[in-house]
Structure 1
Amino acid sequence: MSDIPSSHHQTVAAYVDQAQAVISAITSLAAPIGQAADLWIESLRAGGKILFCGNGGSAADAQHLAAELLGRFLTDREPMPALSLTVDTSSLTAISNDFGYETVFSRQLKGIGRQGDVLVGLSTSGNSRNVVNAFALARTMGVRTVGLTGQHGGAMAELSDILIAVPDARTNHIQEAHITIGHLICAIVETTLYPNNA
């Protein structure tokens, strides 16, 4: 370890300081986080499902959070219906090729979304066109929306029933906050719906 350049230690320390500041800011988002958890719980209790979408790193987070619900998070319990719209490469490429990438999530939502479902969109800018289009369609379908964005919310702000806007403009730290927020919501949902497993 002694041959690791000191500049690396400085880089690590600076990065961790920045990340901790953003994660600490999540406490200011306790209200919308709780509201989002309540919305997921309401949907799941009524037989609905939680759908996720996003691009790039946010696509990975969408897949991650769907797996936490469908598989397990903190405890062993029954699976909760959840699906990421980012994982079916045949659908993604067919829809992109035939209709355009901006429709890749809205087209899937139109096919499998139902009134009472919840659509969770992750976009650090809040302006990802395919996520925005899916949110606009969700409004017409009776699908509720939870937006996870950066500090201003972008175009998703007006289309989100619940907006969780991380107070930062740096993509990496917004994404780190998003997965932490997603885990918090999963924890609330799991312990509420399966209290005997906690």
Structure 2
Amino acid sequence: MLEQRIQQHFFDAADLLYQSAEVLAKPVASATQALLGSLTAGGKLLLTGTGAALAVAQAMAAQLVGRFERDRPGLAALVLGADATVTAALLKVAPPGSPLAMQVQALGTPGDVLVVFASAPHDAALAEAVAAAQARDMTVVAITPRGSALGALLGETDVWIGVPHDRSARVQEVQLLVAHALCDALDLQLMGEQDSA
């Protein structure tokens, strides 16, 4: 019984990944162009998420600043909301509002991109961060579950990657794959095809 339940996780994940490949290829390509446009113009990427989705943002930022699968110069990427000390201090000393939105206002500049990972359909803190980014003339890339309220907040230059599932665990699995696809696509666009050895 237990082994069958464990196997079902793998089957469900495989089904979702297969379904997502066709649905998400175009928005992931659009997101790649947004990220590439910002980076090549001297902008930076601000990545964030809430709950377990923040770990996906951290992993992607590490692969952008460091390396994904091959060596290249580091790309300008910064995670917002990962430092609990800063977040707690902002809640104590700053005016009311989301600490994420405050960080976007302080660090974001026109031409930058805010990359948001949400694992829940409704997240007020991320919605405030999106609004702050739009007010700073930044592009937003939102990677969320289907039916997310964030999708309705995005403008015509923003990109929504709506994972076709509602269960948080499945959404996060696809988000990590999307993050890897974005890193690979950026490497391809910046450095060309890798020589096969």
Q: Note whether the superposition's TM-score is higher than 0.5.
A: yes
Distance 1:101 1:52 in 2: 22
- Give, in angstroms, the shift of residue 95 of structure 1: 1.2
Map of 1:24 onto structure 2: 18
Partner of 1:118: 113
Residue type at the aligned position of 2:165: D
* Among 72, 75, 84, the residue aligned to 1:80: 75
| Amino acid of the structure 2 residue aligned with 1:40 | L
**Which AA in structure 2 matches 1:88?**
D
Counterpart of 2:59 in structure 1 is 64
Matched, 1:152 2:183: no
Moved more, 122-131 or 78-87: 122-131
**Matching of residue 48 in structure 1 with residue 26 in structure 2:** no
C-alpha distance after superposition, 1:25-56 (max 9, x if no partner): 22111110000001100000000111111111
Change (3 A) 1:112 1:197: farther
Equivalent position amino acid for 1:17 in 2: F
Counterpart of 2:100 in structure 1 is: 105
Provide the aligned C-alpha RMSD in A. 1.7
**How far is 1:150 from its partner?**
0.5
Q: Which of 165, 169, 172 is residue 172 of structure 1 equivalent to?
A: 169
Name stretches of at least 5 consecutive residues in structure 2 with no aligned partner.
Answer: none
For 1:36 and 1:155, how far apart are their aligned partners in 2? 16
Of 156-165 and 102-111, the range deviating more from structure 2: 156-165
| Partner secondary structure for residue 155 of structure 1 | helix
Deviations 1:73-121 (A, max 9, x none): 0101100000110222321111123348851111011111111100011
TM-score by length of 1: 0.91
Residue identity opposite 1:164 in structure 2: I
After superposing the two structures, state which structure 1 stretch, 98-107 or 140-149, moved more: 98-107
Deviates more, 1:157-166 or 1:126-135: 157-166
- The answer (yes or no) to whether the contact 1:147–1:163 under 8 Å persists in 2 is yes
Q: In the TM superposition, what whole-angstrom CA distance separates every residue of 1:99-156 from its partner, at most 9, and x where no partner exists?
A: 4885111101111111110001111234211111010111111110001110112234
Quick one: distance in 1 between partners of 2:6 and 2:18? Answer: 18
Stretches of structure 1 lacking an aligned partner (at least 5 in a row): 1-6
Q: 1:8 to 1:136 in 2, by over 3 A?
A: same
Residue in 2 that maps onto 1:4? none
41-50 or 147-156: which moved more? 147-156
Residue 191 in 1 paired to residue 185 in 2?
Answer: no
Task: Please give the alpha-carbon distance, in whole angstroms, between the structure 1 residues aligned to 2:139 and 2:189.
Answer: 20
- Higher mean Cα deviation, 96-105 or 62-71? 96-105
SS at match of 2:149: coil
For residues 179 and 51 of structure 1, the distance between their equivalents in structure 2, rounded to whole angstroms, comes to 17
- The number of residue pairs the alignment matches comes to 192
